Amino acid sequence: MSARKFRKRPVIVEAMRWDGTATGSAMIVDWIYDNDAECQYYAPGEWNEEWPTVAYIKIETLEGSMLASSGDWIIRGVAGEFYPCKPDIFEKTYEPVEESGK
């Protein structure tokens, strides 16, 4: 058996790009929680020295916990699931959708 080629179906997803700030993370965390999903924001040195040296958002995905870094896109998929996506992959995979009435 050999590999076959497939094209992604054209689906529309919602996404927010995290700018790496606490304010930006609050908007993403609220969005995720408002849609009944789980995540947590971690800031460097916030509580003790064991905390990370860079900020990240830990998102509970269908495949387990995934970490979002500054600049990553956070995507809400067709089943309502959330997951992070690196900017280069996002740019190759998605394009903006014109919303009517806006």
pLDDT tens digits for 13-30? 999 999 999 999 999 999
Q: Where are the beta strands (DSSP E) in the chain?
A: 14-17, 39-42, 56-61, 64-68, 73-76, 82-85
pTM of the model: 0.83
The pLDDT assigned to 48 comes to 57
Instruction: Express each pLDDT in 35-77 by its tens digit.
Output: 999 999 988 765 556 656 789 999 999 999 999 999 999 999 9
Q: 92: which 2 tokens?
A: 């190759």
Q: How far apart are CA 47 and CA 27, in angstroms?
A: 22
Rounded Cα distance between 86 and 17, Å, is: 10
Instruction: List phi, psi (to 5°) of 50.
Output: -80, -10
Residue 98: pLDDT band (50, 70, 90) is confident
Separation CA 19–CA 62 (nearest Å): 24
32 with 18: CB under 8 angstroms?
no
